[in-house]
Amino acid sequence: MENLLNSYTGKIREVTIGGDGLIVGGQNTLPFYLFEGEMPHKPLVAMEVLDIEPTDWPPALTEPLSGVLNDPLKWAKKCEDLGADLICLYLLGTSPDGANKSPEEAGELTKKMLENIKVPLVIYGSGDKEKDPKVFTKVTEAALGKNILFGPAQEENYKLVAGAALATQQNVIAFSPLDINLAKQQNILITQMGVKPENIVMDPTTGALGYGLEYCFSILERLKLAALQQNDTMTQMPIICTVGKEVWKVKEAKVSEAEEPSWGNAEKRGINWEVVTAFTLLLAGADIVVVRHPKSLEVLHALIKELLS
Partner 1 sequence: MALTGLDIFKKLPKTNCGECGVPTCLAFAMKLASKQAELDACPYVSDEVKEELSEAAAPPIRTVEVGFGENAFKVGGEVVMYRHEKTFFNPCGFALLIEDSASGEEIEKKLSQVKSSQFERIGQILKADLIAVKYSSGDENRYLSLVNKAKDLNFPLILICSDEGVLKKSLEATKGTRPLIYAAQERNVDSMASLALEYQVPLAVKADSLDNLSSLTEALKSKGVKDIVLDPGSRSLKKTFENLIFIRRAAIEKKVRSLGFPAITFPNEEVSDDYFEVAYAAGYVVKYGGIVVLNDLSPEKVLPLFVLRQNIYTDPQRPMQVEEKIYEFASPDENSPFLVTTNFSLTYFIVSGEIESSKIPTWLGVVNTEGLSVLTAWSAGKFTSEKIASFVKGKSIAERINHKKIVIPGYVAILKGELEDELPGFEIIVGPREAGDIPAFLREWKT
Contacts with partner 1, residue ranges (CB under 8 A): 1, 3-4, 6, 32-33, 35, 56, 97, 207, 209-215, 217-218, 221-222, 225, 249-252, 262-266, 268-269, 271-273, 275-276, 279-280, 283-284, 295, 299, 302-303, 306-307, 309
Closest approach of partner 1 to the CB of residue 269, in Å: 4
Smaller CB distance to partner 1: residue 45 or 303?
Answer: 303
The nearer residue to partner 1, 17 or 243, going by C-beta atoms, is: 243
Our CB check for partner 1 shows the closer of 6 and 231 to be 6
Tell me which amino acid residue 290 is: V
Name the DSSP letter for residue 51: S
Q: In angstroms, give the least distance from the CB of 212 to partner 1.
A: 5
Polymer length of the chain: 309
Looking at the DSSP bridge assignments, the partners of residue 50 are 90
- Tell me whether residue 107 or residue 151 sits nearer to partner 1 (CB atom): 151
Helix (H, G, I), strand (E, B) or coil at 194: coil
Question: CB of residue 88 vs partner 1: minimum separation in angstroms?
Answer: 19
List, in sequence order, the alpha helices (H) in the chain.
59-62, 72-82, 103-116, 131-142, 158-168, 180-192, 213-228, 243-247, 251-254, 266-284, 294-308
Which of residues 12 and 143 has its CB atom nearest to partner 1 in the complex? 12
Long-range contacts of 302-307 (CB under 8 A, 24+ apart): 303/279, 304/42, 304/43, 304/45, 305/42, 307/32, 307/34
Quote the CA–CA distance of 79 and 46 in Å, as a whole number. 9
Quick one: 107 or 207, whose CB is closer to partner 1? Answer: 207
Nearest approach, Cβ of residue 116 and partner 1 (Å): 30
Bridge-partner residues for 212, per DSSP? 208
User: Distance between the two ends of the chain, CA-based, in angstroms?
Assistant: 20
Neighbouring C-alpha atoms within 13 Å toward the C-beta of 183: 26
Residues 6 or more apart whose CB falls under 8 angstroms from that of 54 comprise: 61, 62, 69
Distance of closest approach, residue 49 Cβ to partner 1, in angstroms: 21
CB of 281 to partner 1, least distance (A): 10
CB of 182 to partner 1, least distance (A): 14
Nearer to partner 1, 221 or 232 (CB): 221
